[in-house]
Amino acid sequence: MSGLTPIDESAPRSPLLVRPFQAGVTGWIVVSGATVVVLVGGAITGQKPLAAAVPVLVIPVVVAFAFAITQWWQVRSAGTARPSWWHLGAVPAALLIWYLWPNTPNQINGDDGSAQAVCNNIPTDSNAACLHRAAPALDAHNLVWWLALALIAVAALLGRWSRIAAWTSIPVAFAGALLASSFLEQVVLHYQIVT
């Protein structure tokens, strides 16, 4: 006779993202994969049209957030204990990445954030045409950059119940900076091709 306790097969199993080991492995794969895809995709699509850059930078973040929301829901509905606080350390790291990662192309770096300053740093014959192109690009840049900060805040709020959410803030920060830069990069590329 063995000293092992038989496993009760009729007992309900907790959801996958509630079990500590399985949730940790899943979170590590999802967040690491999203970060790698965003960084490699951002490097590859940096000089490409926005139609190529947007899906490459947005889809990994959406997938990571889908896992984060699923984990948040499963942990809340299962009534299990909250994860430890140390997972929230990813949020300050994401804030540093969001703030320090370059989000403007080198050709227009150091401007004051206006369309006129962007056009002053680009060699162009028609300042009016440049302003017409730079103003919406700068608006889109600012919108994406601040939306990334809002998503980091959402990840921080969900992070108290979902480890994956806290760590998802890191690929969000990278994707926000890279996508914001892509809008201004399109203006720079347009005038490099024209001249």
pLDDT digit of tens for each residue in the chain (195 aa)?
556 666 556 556 778 888 888 888 999 999 999 999 999 999 998 888 889 999 999 999 999 999 999 999 998 888 777 777 788 899 999 999 999 998 888 777 655 677 888 888 787 778 888 888 889 999 999 999 999 999 999 999 999 889 999 999 999 999 999 999 999 888 888 877 655
| 129 CB-side CA count, 13 A | 9
The answer to whether the beta carbons of residues 94 and 152 sit under 8 Å apart is yes
Q: Name the DSSP class of 191.
A: H
Residue 121's pLDDT is what? 79
CA distance 110 to 119: 13
CA distance 138 to 142: 6
Residue 78's pLDDT is what? 83
Residue 3's pLDDT is what? 64
Alpha-helix runs per DSSP H in 79-126: 90-100, 115-120
Residue 4's pLDDT is what? 66
Residues 6+ apart with CB under 8 A from 135: 115
Q: What is the pTM of this model?
A: 0.86
What is the sign of the dihedral through the CA atoms of 88, 96, 116 and 190? negative
Residue 76's pLDDT is what? 87
Residue 178's pLDDT is what? 94
Element (DSSP H or E) covering residue 24: helix 20-45
- Phi and psi at residue 47, in whole multiples of 5°? -105, 5
CA distance 7 to 15: 18
CA distance 163 to 172: 15
Residue 10's pLDDT is what? 56
Residue 11's pLDDT is what? 52
CA distance 133 to 137: 7
